[in-house]
């Protein structure tokens, strides 16, 4: 199993390689080397960790490219300190699996990586059963209205839907459109409790969509 680690900082690459001892770690210090490593590794590459400060663009742009190359690959954005803007962009706009401060203890980073890899093994069909969402081997209990909203998003997987569109399909009108955000936040919180992140993507100036690569 191959893990790609990308940073211009040698100390970051070396530390991640030490933390991930036991895996086949491929170290890269630039954008093109990451693309090449993922391409050559094919399905053996399960996870990519990229430093946010990687040039010429940034780590988010690189991870976006990686996800387009390989469906189901897990992605981690490494930041050197808490960065709210990077977290919001990475997690909620670009579907990156995890934003992680690389100054966290080695054992914590290792656990996060192992958790993501374990989730990759559990991937299966996503479907609704009664008032439960079955996803990645987990069962998440939701309210009836949350199930109705998810049914709309999943049916239109990958398509951005406005709050008005969602509301019209649930309440047959737009008078309760403001409640959509409340329900979406509640669903996200329940998914997060099971370690499931970024399945509902916020589309700026539009609304929401269900991610299309699971």
CATH number of the domain enclosing 194: 1.10.10.10
Looking at beta carbons, which pairs linking 174-182 to residues 24 or more positions away fall under 8 Å?
180/149, 180/207, 180/208
**Are 96 and 6 contained in the same domain?**
yes
C-alpha 205/C-alpha 197 separation (Å) is 21
**Are 116 and 197 contained in the same domain?**
no
**Are 114 and 14 contained in the same domain?**
yes
Among residues 122, 147, 164, the one where a domain terminates is 122
Pair 154, 126: CB distance under 8 Å: yes
Per-residue pLDDT of the chain (214 residues; tens, 9 = 90+): 889 999 999 999 999 999 999 999 999 999 999 999 988 887 788 889 999 888 887 888 888 888 778 767 888 888 877 666 666 665 555 567 888 887 889 999 998 888 777 765 545 578 898 899 988 767 899 999 999 999 999 988 888 999 999 988 887 565 577 789 999 999 998 988 877 777 888 888 899 999 865 5
Give me the phi and psi of 135, to 5 degrees please: -155, 135
179: containing domain: 127-210
**Are 77 and 138 contained in the same domain?**
no
pTM higher than 0.85: no
C-alpha 209/C-alpha 196 separation (Å) is 16
């Amino acid at each position: 199993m191959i893990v790609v680690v990308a940073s211009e900082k040698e100390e970051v690459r070396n530390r991640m390689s030490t933390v991930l001892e036991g895996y086949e770690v491929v170290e890269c210090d630039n954008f093109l080397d990451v693309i090449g490593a993922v391409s050559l590794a094919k399905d053996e590459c399960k996870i990519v960790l990229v430093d946010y400060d990687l040039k010429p663009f940034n780590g988010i742009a690189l991870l976006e490219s990686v996800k387009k190359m390989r469906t189901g690959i897990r992605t981690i954005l490494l930041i050197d300190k808490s960065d709210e803007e990077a977290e919001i962009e990475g997690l909620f706009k670009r579907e990156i699996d995890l934003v992680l401060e690389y100054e966290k203890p080695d054992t914590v980073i290792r656990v996060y990586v192992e958790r993501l890899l374990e989730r990759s093994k559990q991937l299966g069909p996503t479907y609704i059963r009664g008032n439960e969402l079955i996803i990645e081997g987990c069962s998440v209990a939701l309210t009836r209205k949350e199930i109705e909203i998810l049914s709309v998003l999943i049916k239109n997987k990958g398509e951005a839907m406005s709050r008005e569109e969602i509301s019209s399909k649930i309440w047959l009108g737009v008078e309760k459109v403001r409640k959509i955000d409340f329900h979406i936040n509640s669903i996200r919180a329940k998914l997060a409790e099971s370690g499931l992140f970024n399945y509902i993507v916020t589309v700026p100036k539009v609304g929401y969509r269900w991610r299309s690569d699971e």
